[in-house]
Amino acid sequence: MVINTAVGTTTVMTGWIIIIGFVILGLILFTIVLYLIANSIGINISFLRAFVVSTLSGVGSLFIIIIFLLMSNGNIAVFFTGWVVAFIVVLIIFKYILNVSWEKAIGILIIIVMPWFIIGLILSTLLLFVLTSIG
């Protein structure tokens, strides 16, 4: 579907392609950060295993947060409960796929939150800027 704007024409699919591109970019960046953090604290993992962990934790927490968002019906406590459940699921994924102790899984998760929060803010801002620029 082509949309005429003041700046020119664009397609609706362009927005979806950009969003998918940003999701893939975020997945790759999360994989790199996870790989570097895990190897820096003495957990020898391959990049492929880090990619699998990143994908499973991302998809799993996305579905959990969406389910709890739909169940919340405006109740913020239910929504935040979904975040806690997603955090626990990601912790379990880290523990069993990376084959580490609970302490190391918690350590990786706590360490990875800060750089991922910053990367998420940057990617969200860029995505918002790009999507508003195309029309």
pLDDT digits (tens, 9 = 90+) for 34-91: 999 999 988 889 999 999 999 999 899 889 988 998 888 888 888 889 889 999 999 9
| pTM as predicted | 0.75
Instruction: Kindly state the tokens that stand for 92.
Output: 């379990």
Confidence of residue 97 (pLDDT cuts 50, 70, 90): very high
CA dihedral 106, 111, 114, 120 (to 10 degrees): -70
Point out which residues pair with 2 in neighbouring strands.
Answer: 11
Could you tell me which residues come within 8 angstroms of residue 121 by beta carbon, excluding any fewer than 6 positions away? none
Q: Could you tell me if residue 5 is left (phi over 0), alpha (psi between -120 and 50 degrees) or otherwise beta?
A: beta
